[in-house]
Amino acid sequence: MARIFGAFKTGARVAFDPLGRALVRAGVSPDAITIIGTLGVVVASAVFAAHGQLLVATIIITLCALLDVLDGAMARARGYSTRFGALLDSTMDRVADGAIFGALVWWLATSGQRLLAVVTIVCLVGGQIVSYVKARAQGLGFTCDVGFAERLERLTIVGIGGLLYGFGVEWGLAVALWVLAVLTVVTVVQRTMHVRTQERAQQRQSAQEGAT
């Protein structure tokens, strides 16, 4: 699965590079693209996903999510990235994720699907923790590029569920959310244990160096 999504990311970057260069030449800021994409996701989530119109919501959110790839292409075309841009990108990702899953929670709860609403809350909270653990680990000097449910995988899974529901396969959304909830929890554990393993390895190395 990781290889498939990795190949998709690489292909998307290559496809968007020409457009990214064109926008940079036109004087458009990557930060503006980031904000526009996030606003599109928030509006689609509030207007469509929160009212159960998942097919329209999924299509719009997918198109807006592609802008996240475009702003990266623009940064590469410009030849540099900024620390503020990286912060803004990560912040907007959290806002977009919160809007998507929050809208689903609202719709599921108000339509009487309370158990599935709880599962979606697990996806929402777990997804935020997955991203936080990585950021915190990197801040502490560890690597944390592990786990089944990174952001692209999470959005893809819930997107497939939304499309299936929109085309009349209503159980598809439930399956997608249950699968995502499990994978998200597993990813939190994976990343936490990965950092623990690195720290213990460092401690052993320090002990060995101190003994020599």
How much is the mean pLDDT over the chain?
89
Residues spanned by the domain of 187: 2-211
Is the pLDDT score of 55 beyond 90? yes
How many structural domains does the chain have?
A: 1
- CA dist 63 and 65 (Å) reads 5
Report pLDDT digits (tens) over 164-196.
Answer: 999 999 999 999 999 999 999 999 999 999 999
Q: pLDDT category, 17, cuts 50, 70, 90? A: confident
| pLDDT score for 81 | 78
- CA dist 46 and 15 (Å) reads 30
- CA dist 86 and 83 (Å) reads 5
| pLDDT score for 119 | 98
Say which residue, 77 or 120, is predicted with more confidence.
120
- CA dist 113 and 199 (Å) reads 43
- Concerning whether 93 is annotated as a catalytic residue, the answer is yes
Mean pLDDT calculated for residue range 72-94 = 86
Given 68, 89, 93, 97, which residue is catalytic? 93
Element (H, E) at 122: helix 114-139
CATH number of the domain enclosing 191: 1.20.120.1760
CA angle 80, 40, 173 (to 5 degrees): 115
CA angle 174, 101, 149 (to 5 degrees): 75
| pLDDT score for 212 | 67
Residue of 75, 64, 76, 66 lying closest to 40 (CA atoms): 64
Say which residue, 77 or 96, is predicted with more confidence.
96
